[in-house]
Amino acid sequence: MPKIFSKKGDPKVLNAWAFYDWANSVYPLVISSSVFPIYYGALFLDDLYIEVFGFNFKNTALISFLTAFAFIILSFITPLLSGIADYMGNKKTFLKFFCYLGSLSCIGLYWFDLENIYIGLFFYFLALISFWASLVFYNSYLPDIAYKEQQDYISAKGYAMGYIGSVILLIFNLSMVLSPNSFGIEGEGAELIAMKYSFVSVGLWWIICSQYTFYHLPNLIEKRKIIKDVIFNGFKELKEVWDELKEIVVIKKFLIAFFIYSSALQTVLLIATYFGEQEIIWPEGEKTTGLIVSILLIQLIAIFGAMFTARISKKLGNIYTLVILNLFWAILCIGAYFITKPLEFYIAAGLVGLVMGGIQALSRSTFSKMIPETENTTSYFSFYDVSQKVSIVLGMTLFAFVDQITGSMRNSIIVFLFIFLIGAFLLKRIKIKNV
Protein backbone atom coordinates (compact mmCIF):
# COMPACT_ATOMS: atom_id res chain seq x y z
CA MET A 1 0.00 0.00 0.00
CA PRO A 2 1.29 3.47 -0.83
CA LYS A 3 2.27 5.63 2.07
CA ILE A 4 -0.33 8.30 2.84
CA PHE A 5 0.77 11.65 4.15
CA SER A 6 -1.15 12.07 7.40
CA LYS A 7 -0.86 15.88 7.58
CA LYS A 8 -2.31 16.64 4.16
CA GLY A 9 -3.72 20.18 4.11
CA ASP A 10 -1.50 21.32 7.02
CA PRO A 11 -1.01 25.12 6.59
CA LYS A 12 2.59 24.93 7.85
CA VAL A 13 3.49 22.38 5.19
CA LEU A 14 1.65 24.29 2.48
CA ASN A 15 3.40 27.55 3.35
CA ALA A 16 6.76 25.76 3.41
CA TRP A 17 6.05 24.39 -0.06
CA ALA A 18 5.14 27.85 -1.38
CA PHE A 19 8.32 29.27 0.15
CA TYR A 20 10.41 27.27 -2.31
CA ASP A 21 9.18 29.72 -4.96
CA TRP A 22 10.77 32.47 -2.86
CA ALA A 23 14.01 30.48 -2.89
CA ASN A 24 14.31 29.47 -6.55
CA SER A 25 12.62 32.33 -8.46
CA VAL A 26 15.80 34.40 -8.18
CA TYR A 27 17.35 32.16 -10.83
CA PRO A 28 15.01 33.00 -13.75
CA LEU A 29 14.95 36.72 -12.92
CA VAL A 30 18.61 37.40 -12.05
CA ILE A 31 20.40 34.73 -14.10
CA SER A 32 18.15 34.04 -17.09
CA SER A 33 16.62 37.48 -17.61
CA SER A 34 18.78 40.28 -16.22
CA VAL A 35 22.28 40.32 -14.72
CA PHE A 36 23.80 37.34 -16.54
CA PRO A 37 22.77 38.47 -20.06
CA ILE A 38 24.22 41.92 -19.29
CA TYR A 39 27.45 40.40 -17.97
CA TYR A 40 27.67 38.00 -20.91
CA GLY A 41 27.27 40.84 -23.40
CA ALA A 42 29.94 42.91 -21.62
CA LEU A 43 32.48 40.15 -22.25
CA PHE A 44 32.17 40.68 -26.00
CA LEU A 45 32.70 44.42 -26.31
CA ASP A 46 35.69 43.99 -28.66
CA ASP A 47 34.44 41.10 -30.77
CA LEU A 48 30.99 39.49 -30.93
CA TYR A 49 32.44 36.19 -32.18
CA ILE A 50 34.29 33.46 -30.31
CA GLU A 51 35.71 30.09 -31.30
CA VAL A 52 34.12 27.27 -29.28
CA PHE A 53 34.20 23.54 -30.06
CA GLY A 54 36.06 24.33 -33.28
CA PHE A 55 33.37 26.69 -34.63
CA ASN A 56 33.29 30.49 -34.81
CA PHE A 57 30.06 31.43 -32.99
CA LYS A 58 28.34 34.79 -32.63
CA ASN A 59 27.97 35.28 -28.86
CA THR A 60 24.15 35.37 -28.79
CA ALA A 61 23.92 32.41 -31.16
CA LEU A 62 26.24 30.39 -28.91
CA ILE A 63 24.18 30.93 -25.75
CA SER A 64 20.98 30.24 -27.72
CA PHE A 65 22.28 26.94 -29.12
CA LEU A 66 23.38 25.90 -25.63
CA THR A 67 19.98 26.81 -24.17
CA ALA A 68 18.24 24.82 -26.90
CA PHE A 69 20.46 21.80 -26.16
CA ALA A 70 19.63 22.08 -22.45
CA PHE A 71 15.92 21.96 -23.22
CA ILE A 72 16.45 18.90 -25.44
CA ILE A 73 17.95 17.16 -22.42
CA LEU A 74 15.10 18.42 -20.22
CA SER A 75 12.47 17.17 -22.69
CA PHE A 76 13.96 13.69 -22.30
CA ILE A 77 14.69 13.54 -18.57
CA THR A 78 11.53 15.29 -17.30
CA PRO A 79 9.13 12.37 -17.93
CA LEU A 80 11.86 9.91 -16.95
CA LEU A 81 12.52 11.54 -13.57
CA SER A 82 8.84 12.14 -12.99
CA GLY A 83 8.03 8.47 -13.49
CA ILE A 84 10.77 7.37 -11.06
CA ALA A 85 9.85 9.91 -8.38
CA ASP A 86 6.13 9.10 -8.57
CA TYR A 87 6.86 5.40 -8.11
CA MET A 88 9.47 5.64 -5.37
CA GLY A 89 7.94 8.57 -3.50
CA ASN A 90 11.31 10.19 -2.77
CA LYS A 91 10.53 13.50 -4.40
CA LYS A 92 12.27 15.38 -1.62
CA THR A 93 15.60 13.71 -2.40
CA PHE A 94 15.37 14.67 -6.08
CA LEU A 95 14.24 18.20 -5.20
CA LYS A 96 17.21 18.65 -2.85
CA PHE A 97 19.66 17.27 -5.40
CA PHE A 98 18.66 19.65 -8.19
CA CYS A 99 18.34 22.56 -5.77
CA TYR A 100 21.90 22.09 -4.51
CA LEU A 101 23.29 21.40 -7.99
CA GLY A 102 21.58 24.51 -9.37
CA SER A 103 22.70 26.69 -6.45
CA LEU A 104 26.33 25.60 -6.71
CA SER A 105 26.24 26.06 -10.49
CA CYS A 106 25.04 29.66 -10.04
CA ILE A 107 27.97 30.24 -7.68
CA GLY A 108 30.21 28.62 -10.28
CA LEU A 109 29.22 31.33 -12.77
CA TYR A 110 31.56 33.59 -10.77
CA TRP A 111 34.37 32.09 -12.84
CA PHE A 112 32.59 32.67 -16.17
CA ASP A 113 34.88 34.61 -18.51
CA LEU A 114 36.32 34.23 -22.01
CA GLU A 115 39.47 32.54 -20.72
CA ASN A 116 37.37 29.92 -18.93
CA ILE A 117 34.55 29.79 -21.49
CA TYR A 118 34.08 26.01 -21.34
CA ILE A 119 33.81 25.96 -17.54
CA GLY A 120 31.46 28.95 -17.65
CA LEU A 121 29.18 27.39 -20.26
CA PHE A 122 29.17 24.14 -18.26
CA PHE A 123 27.95 25.92 -15.12
CA TYR A 124 25.35 27.84 -17.16
CA PHE A 125 24.11 24.55 -18.61
CA LEU A 126 23.94 22.82 -15.21
CA ALA A 127 22.11 25.74 -13.58
CA LEU A 128 19.47 25.79 -16.33
CA ILE A 129 18.97 22.02 -16.21
CA SER A 130 18.77 22.01 -12.41
CA PHE A 131 16.22 24.80 -12.16
CA TRP A 132 13.78 23.26 -14.60
CA ALA A 133 14.31 19.71 -13.34
CA SER A 134 13.67 20.77 -9.73
CA LEU A 135 10.30 22.19 -10.80
CA VAL A 136 9.18 18.69 -11.83
CA PHE A 137 9.38 17.48 -8.24
CA TYR A 138 8.32 20.77 -6.68
CA ASN A 139 5.10 20.91 -8.71
CA SER A 140 4.36 17.20 -8.24
CA TYR A 141 4.39 17.70 -4.45
CA LEU A 142 1.24 19.83 -4.58
CA PRO A 143 -1.42 17.07 -4.85
CA ASP A 144 0.43 15.11 -2.13
CA ILE A 145 0.24 17.88 0.47
CA ALA A 146 -2.84 19.90 -0.50
CA TYR A 147 -6.50 19.09 -1.07
CA LYS A 148 -7.99 20.12 -4.41
CA GLU A 149 -9.77 23.12 -2.93
CA GLN A 150 -6.43 24.37 -1.49
CA GLN A 151 -4.27 23.93 -4.58
CA ASP A 152 -5.22 27.06 -6.55
CA TYR A 153 -4.66 29.35 -3.57
CA ILE A 154 -1.35 27.90 -2.41
CA SER A 155 -0.05 27.72 -5.98
CA ALA A 156 -0.86 31.41 -6.50
CA LYS A 157 0.75 32.20 -3.16
CA GLY A 158 3.93 30.48 -4.32
CA TYR A 159 4.04 32.58 -7.50
CA ALA A 160 3.49 35.76 -5.48
CA MET A 161 6.25 34.89 -3.01
CA GLY A 162 8.58 34.05 -5.88
CA TYR A 163 7.96 37.39 -7.52
CA ILE A 164 8.54 39.35 -4.29
CA GLY A 165 11.68 37.43 -3.33
CA SER A 166 13.30 37.67 -6.76
CA VAL A 167 12.61 41.40 -7.09
CA ILE A 168 14.15 42.02 -3.63
CA LEU A 169 17.37 40.25 -4.61
CA LEU A 170 17.41 41.92 -8.03
CA ILE A 171 17.15 45.37 -6.44
CA PHE A 172 20.02 44.45 -4.09
CA ASN A 173 22.11 43.27 -7.04
CA LEU A 174 21.19 46.37 -9.01
CA SER A 175 22.45 48.54 -6.16
CA MET A 176 25.68 46.54 -6.01
CA VAL A 177 26.26 46.78 -9.79
CA LEU A 178 25.46 50.50 -10.04
CA SER A 179 27.47 51.47 -6.96
CA PRO A 180 30.14 48.80 -6.38
CA ASN A 181 32.25 51.15 -4.26
CA SER A 182 29.45 51.26 -1.67
CA PHE A 183 29.86 47.51 -1.24
CA GLY A 184 33.64 47.58 -1.01
CA ILE A 185 34.16 46.54 -4.63
CA GLU A 186 36.79 48.85 -6.12
CA GLY A 187 39.23 49.10 -8.99
CA GLU A 188 39.05 48.47 -12.72
CA GLY A 189 36.14 46.29 -13.78
CA ALA A 190 34.34 46.76 -10.46
CA GLU A 191 30.95 46.63 -12.20
CA LEU A 192 31.70 43.22 -13.73
CA ILE A 193 32.99 41.91 -10.39
CA ALA A 194 29.73 43.09 -8.78
CA MET A 195 27.81 41.09 -11.39
CA LYS A 196 29.88 38.02 -10.49
CA TYR A 197 28.93 38.52 -6.85
CA SER A 198 25.31 38.68 -8.01
CA PHE A 199 25.63 35.13 -9.35
CA VAL A 200 27.01 34.03 -6.00
CA SER A 201 24.13 35.79 -4.20
CA VAL A 202 21.60 33.84 -6.31
CA GLY A 203 23.22 30.53 -5.39
CA LEU A 204 23.36 31.39 -1.68
CA TRP A 205 19.80 32.74 -1.65
CA TRP A 206 18.49 29.61 -3.39
CA ILE A 207 20.28 27.12 -1.14
CA ILE A 208 19.71 28.96 2.18
CA CYS A 209 16.05 29.90 1.67
CA SER A 210 15.15 26.39 0.51
CA GLN A 211 16.09 24.95 3.91
CA TYR A 212 12.77 26.05 5.42
CA THR A 213 10.98 24.12 2.67
CA PHE A 214 13.10 21.02 3.12
CA TYR A 215 12.62 21.06 6.89
CA HIS A 216 8.82 20.94 6.71
CA LEU A 217 8.11 19.01 3.50
CA PRO A 218 7.28 15.35 4.10
CA ASN A 219 9.70 12.71 2.84
CA LEU A 220 7.29 10.36 1.10
CA ILE A 221 9.62 7.41 0.72
CA GLU A 222 8.39 4.11 -0.65
CA LYS A 223 10.57 1.02 -0.25
CA ARG A 224 10.44 0.12 -3.90
CA LYS A 225 13.18 -0.83 -6.29
CA ILE A 226 13.55 0.89 -9.63
CA ILE A 227 12.64 -1.45 -12.45
CA LYS A 228 12.77 -0.95 -16.20
CA ASP A 229 9.01 -0.39 -16.53
CA VAL A 230 9.10 2.37 -13.90
CA ILE A 231 11.98 4.21 -15.57
CA PHE A 232 10.07 4.48 -18.82
CA ASN A 233 6.64 4.88 -17.26
CA GLY A 234 6.68 8.65 -17.90
CA PHE A 235 7.18 8.11 -21.63
CA LYS A 236 4.48 5.43 -21.64
CA GLU A 237 2.02 7.88 -20.09
CA LEU A 238 2.90 10.53 -22.69
CA LYS A 239 2.22 8.05 -25.49
CA GLU A 240 -1.12 7.10 -23.93
CA VAL A 241 -2.12 10.77 -23.75
CA TRP A 242 -1.09 11.30 -27.39
CA ASP A 243 -3.20 8.29 -28.45
CA GLU A 244 -6.17 9.81 -26.61
CA LEU A 245 -5.57 13.23 -28.14
CA LYS A 246 -5.78 11.76 -31.63
CA GLU A 247 -9.46 11.19 -30.93
CA ILE A 248 -10.03 14.66 -29.41
CA VAL A 249 -9.58 16.94 -32.40
CA VAL A 250 -10.09 20.26 -30.59
CA ILE A 251 -7.30 19.60 -28.05
CA LYS A 252 -4.97 18.36 -30.79
CA LYS A 253 -5.58 21.54 -32.79
CA PHE A 254 -4.94 23.70 -29.72
CA LEU A 255 -1.71 21.90 -28.80
CA ILE A 256 -0.38 22.32 -32.36
CA ALA A 257 -1.17 26.05 -32.23
CA PHE A 258 0.30 26.31 -28.73
CA PHE A 259 3.47 24.53 -29.84
CA ILE A 260 3.91 26.96 -32.75
CA TYR A 261 3.37 30.27 -30.95
CA SER A 262 5.06 29.10 -27.74
CA SER A 263 8.30 28.50 -29.69
CA ALA A 264 8.35 32.21 -30.56
CA LEU A 265 6.99 33.46 -27.23
CA GLN A 266 9.42 31.64 -24.92
CA THR A 267 12.40 32.45 -27.15
CA VAL A 268 11.59 36.16 -27.23
CA LEU A 269 11.32 36.20 -23.43
CA LEU A 270 14.66 34.40 -23.07
CA ILE A 271 16.59 36.62 -25.50
CA ALA A 272 14.97 40.00 -24.74
CA THR A 273 17.81 41.23 -22.52
CA TYR A 274 20.46 40.04 -24.99
CA PHE A 275 18.62 42.00 -27.69
CA GLY A 276 18.54 45.15 -25.56
CA GLU A 277 22.20 44.79 -24.66
CA GLN A 278 23.38 44.34 -28.23
CA GLU A 279 20.93 46.13 -30.52
CA ILE A 280 19.99 49.28 -28.58
CA ILE A 281 22.23 52.37 -28.77
CA TRP A 282 22.68 53.32 -25.11
CA PRO A 283 24.32 56.54 -23.91
CA GLU A 284 27.67 55.89 -22.25
CA GLY A 285 27.29 54.46 -18.76
CA GLU A 286 23.51 53.91 -19.01
CA LYS A 287 23.32 50.42 -20.53
CA THR A 288 23.34 48.36 -17.32
CA THR A 289 20.88 50.61 -15.51
CA GLY A 290 18.60 50.81 -18.52
CA LEU A 291 18.46 47.06 -19.03
CA ILE A 292 17.72 46.21 -15.41
CA VAL A 293 15.10 48.97 -15.16
CA SER A 294 13.48 47.52 -18.30
CA ILE A 295 13.35 44.08 -16.70
CA LEU A 296 11.76 45.46 -13.54
CA LEU A 297 9.26 47.32 -15.71
CA ILE A 298 8.31 44.09 -17.47
CA GLN A 299 7.84 42.27 -14.15
CA LEU A 300 5.64 44.98 -12.64
CA ILE A 301 3.42 45.49 -15.68
CA ALA A 302 3.08 41.72 -16.15
CA ILE A 303 1.02 41.49 -12.94
CA PHE A 304 -1.58 43.93 -14.22
CA GLY A 305 -1.32 42.48 -17.72
CA ALA A 306 -2.31 39.02 -16.51
CA MET A 307 -5.32 40.43 -14.63
CA PHE A 308 -6.34 42.52 -17.66
CA THR A 309 -6.09 39.50 -19.96
CA ALA A 310 -8.25 37.43 -17.60
CA ARG A 311 -11.00 40.09 -17.75
CA ILE A 312 -10.88 40.24 -21.56
CA SER A 313 -11.10 36.45 -21.85
CA LYS A 314 -14.30 36.44 -19.76
CA LYS A 315 -15.94 38.73 -22.32
CA LEU A 316 -14.45 37.43 -25.57
CA GLY A 317 -13.59 33.82 -24.70
CA ASN A 318 -10.16 32.21 -24.32
CA ILE A 319 -9.52 31.26 -27.94
CA TYR A 320 -10.46 34.64 -29.41
CA THR A 321 -8.37 36.40 -26.75
CA LEU A 322 -5.37 34.19 -27.59
CA VAL A 323 -5.79 35.10 -31.27
CA ILE A 324 -5.66 38.81 -30.35
CA LEU A 325 -2.60 38.27 -28.13
CA ASN A 326 -0.74 36.45 -30.92
CA LEU A 327 -1.49 39.31 -33.33
CA PHE A 328 -0.30 41.78 -30.68
CA TRP A 329 2.95 39.85 -30.32
CA ALA A 330 3.36 39.90 -34.10
CA ILE A 331 3.05 43.70 -34.06
CA LEU A 332 5.62 43.84 -31.23
CA CYS A 333 8.05 41.88 -33.43
CA ILE A 334 7.65 44.46 -36.19
CA GLY A 335 8.31 47.25 -33.70
CA ALA A 336 11.33 45.46 -32.23
CA TYR A 337 12.95 45.24 -35.65
CA PHE A 338 13.06 49.04 -35.94
CA ILE A 339 13.80 50.19 -32.37
CA THR A 340 17.26 51.58 -31.64
CA LYS A 341 16.77 54.13 -28.84
CA PRO A 342 16.43 53.49 -25.06
CA LEU A 343 13.00 55.17 -24.85
CA GLU A 344 11.71 52.91 -27.62
CA PHE A 345 13.09 49.89 -25.73
CA TYR A 346 11.35 50.99 -22.51
CA ILE A 347 8.03 51.28 -24.37
CA ALA A 348 8.56 47.85 -25.96
CA ALA A 349 9.39 46.39 -22.51
CA GLY A 350 6.17 47.80 -21.09
CA LEU A 351 4.12 46.31 -23.93
CA VAL A 352 5.87 42.94 -23.50
CA GLY A 353 4.97 42.99 -19.80
CA LEU A 354 1.36 43.78 -20.71
CA VAL A 355 0.93 40.56 -22.71
CA MET A 356 3.68 38.31 -21.31
CA GLY A 357 1.94 36.88 -18.25
CA GLY A 358 -1.49 36.95 -19.84
CA ILE A 359 -0.76 34.71 -22.81
CA GLN A 360 1.08 32.13 -20.66
CA ALA A 361 -1.60 31.95 -17.97
CA LEU A 362 -4.43 31.88 -20.52
CA SER A 363 -2.77 29.15 -22.58
CA ARG A 364 -2.51 26.87 -19.53
CA SER A 365 -6.08 27.54 -18.34
CA THR A 366 -7.44 27.03 -21.88
CA PHE A 367 -5.77 23.63 -22.08
CA SER A 368 -7.10 22.77 -18.62
CA LYS A 369 -10.68 23.52 -19.72
CA MET A 370 -10.31 21.29 -22.77
CA ILE A 371 -9.14 18.20 -20.85
CA PRO A 372 -11.91 15.59 -20.70
CA GLU A 373 -13.20 14.19 -17.43
CA THR A 374 -10.35 11.96 -16.31
CA GLU A 375 -8.26 11.01 -13.30
CA ASN A 376 -5.15 11.21 -15.48
CA THR A 377 -4.85 15.04 -15.50
CA THR A 378 -1.18 14.86 -14.42
CA SER A 379 -0.27 13.00 -17.60
CA TYR A 380 -2.13 15.55 -19.72
CA PHE A 381 -0.21 18.41 -18.13
CA SER A 382 3.03 16.46 -18.40
CA PHE A 383 2.36 16.27 -22.13
CA TYR A 384 1.65 20.02 -22.15
CA ASP A 385 4.91 20.69 -20.28
CA VAL A 386 7.03 18.55 -22.60
CA SER A 387 5.39 20.19 -25.62
CA GLN A 388 6.42 23.59 -24.28
CA LYS A 389 10.02 22.47 -23.68
CA VAL A 390 10.32 21.03 -27.20
CA SER A 391 8.87 24.27 -28.61
CA ILE A 392 11.62 26.20 -26.81
CA VAL A 393 14.19 23.95 -28.49
CA LEU A 394 12.68 24.79 -31.87
CA GLY A 395 12.47 28.52 -31.15
CA MET A 396 15.97 28.91 -29.69
CA THR A 397 17.54 26.83 -32.48
CA LEU A 398 15.77 28.85 -35.17
CA PHE A 399 16.75 32.12 -33.51
CA ALA A 400 20.38 31.03 -33.11
CA PHE A 401 20.60 29.80 -36.71
CA VAL A 402 19.30 33.06 -38.21
CA ASP A 403 21.40 35.15 -35.80
CA GLN A 404 24.55 33.15 -36.65
CA ILE A 405 24.01 33.25 -40.43
CA THR A 406 22.92 36.90 -40.76
CA GLY A 407 24.86 38.37 -37.82
CA SER A 408 21.78 40.25 -36.60
CA MET A 409 19.24 39.45 -33.90
CA ARG A 410 16.74 41.72 -35.67
CA ASN A 411 16.39 39.24 -38.53
CA SER A 412 15.55 36.50 -36.04
CA ILE A 413 12.82 38.65 -34.53
CA ILE A 414 11.20 39.06 -37.97
CA VAL A 415 11.06 35.27 -38.31
CA PHE A 416 9.02 35.16 -35.09
CA LEU A 417 6.59 37.69 -36.58
CA PHE A 418 5.48 35.00 -39.04
CA ILE A 419 5.36 32.33 -36.33
CA PHE A 420 2.94 34.41 -34.23
CA LEU A 421 0.79 34.99 -37.32
CA ILE A 422 0.70 31.23 -37.98
CA GLY A 423 -0.24 30.70 -34.32
CA ALA A 424 -3.13 33.18 -34.62
CA PHE A 425 -4.32 31.47 -37.82
CA LEU A 426 -4.27 28.01 -36.23
CA LEU A 427 -6.14 29.25 -33.15
CA LYS A 428 -8.78 30.93 -35.33
CA ARG A 429 -9.58 27.50 -36.83
CA ILE A 430 -10.52 26.08 -33.42
CA LYS A 431 -14.28 25.96 -32.95
CA ILE A 432 -15.35 25.22 -29.39
CA LYS A 433 -18.08 26.54 -27.11
CA ASN A 434 -17.55 27.91 -23.61
CA VAL A 435 -13.76 28.27 -24.01
Distance between CA atoms of residues 133 and 70, nearest Å: 11
Higher per-residue pLDDT: 187 or 280: 280
pLDDT score recorded for residue 2: 41
| Mean pLDDT, residues 342-358 | 88
Q: Tell me if the pTM is above 0.85.
A: no
Distance between CA atoms of residues 56 and 405, nearest Å: 11
| Mean pLDDT, residues 235-244 | 72
Whether 9-223 and 232-435 share one fold: the answer is: yes
Higher per-residue pLDDT: 224 or 288: 288
Distance between CA atoms of residues 417 and 136, nearest Å: 31
Higher per-residue pLDDT: 169 or 87: 169
Inter-CA distances, 158 with 14, 15, 89, 152, 169, Å: 9, 8, 22, 10, 17
Q: In this structure, which CATH number among 1.20.1250.20, 2.40.50.140, 1.20.1090.10, 3.30.70.2740 belongs to the domain 232-435?
A: 1.20.1250.20
Domain 9-223 CATH assignment equals 3.40.190.10: no
pLDDT in tens, 157-209: 777 788 788 889 988 998 898 889 988 888 888 989 999 999 999 999 999 99
Instruction: Give the residue extent of every domain in the chain.
Output: 9-223, 232-435
DSSP 8-state assignment for residue 217? S
DSSP 272-316: HHHHHHHHS-PPTT-HHHHHHHHHHHHHHHHHHHHHHHHHHHHHH
Residues above pLDDT 70, as percent of the chain? 89
Ranges 88-92, 102-106, 328-332: which has the least confidence: 88-92
pLDDT score recorded for residue 3: 44
pLDDT score recorded for residue 137: 80
| Mean pLDDT, residues 296-322 | 83
| Mean pLDDT, residues 369-390 | 72
DSSP 37-69: HHHHHHTTSS-SEEEETTEEEEHHHHHHHHHHH
